[in-house]
Amino acid sequence: MAILLPTTSNGSEAGPVVACVATFVDEVRKYLQRYGIEDATQKTVELVESELPLGSEVSFSVEGDGESDELWLVAHLTIHAPSAEVFDMFNRFVDKWIEFIPKSGRQRMNLTYTAR
């Protein structure tokens, strides 16, 4: 699994989150290169930073379909907000994601979310 690590402006992991730094394991990196969706992944990170509450996170993994040989890049969102607001926040995020991510990227990615 590739995890986007929250960092502060000086690069440490302590303090308020101001940016996400993508570090991908080889499996994810190869998938991104194979399907040419590096830009879609970067834009997903940017949307998490701009559209979700401070402290929200995203991690990426390549997961298989149990009924076929198909593989997907899964963006796992962790949304830091009151539970009552998370569903609506995720839906607004998906609307923006559809607007900004090209179809070629959306066809190879799935979104999931967890409330924190």
Phi, psi dihedral angles at 80 (to 5 degrees): -90, 95
Span 48-68, pLDDT tens digits:
999 999 999 999 999 998 888
Residue with tokens 């509450």: 53
Length of the chain: 116
Query: Mean pLDDT throughout 12-28?
Result: 56
56 by DSSP, 3-state: which? coil
d(CA 97, CA 105): 10
Q: Could you give all domains of the chain from N- to C-terminal order, each with its CATH number?
A: 2-115 (3.30.70.1350)
What's the pLDDT band for 114 if we cut at 50, 70, 90? very high
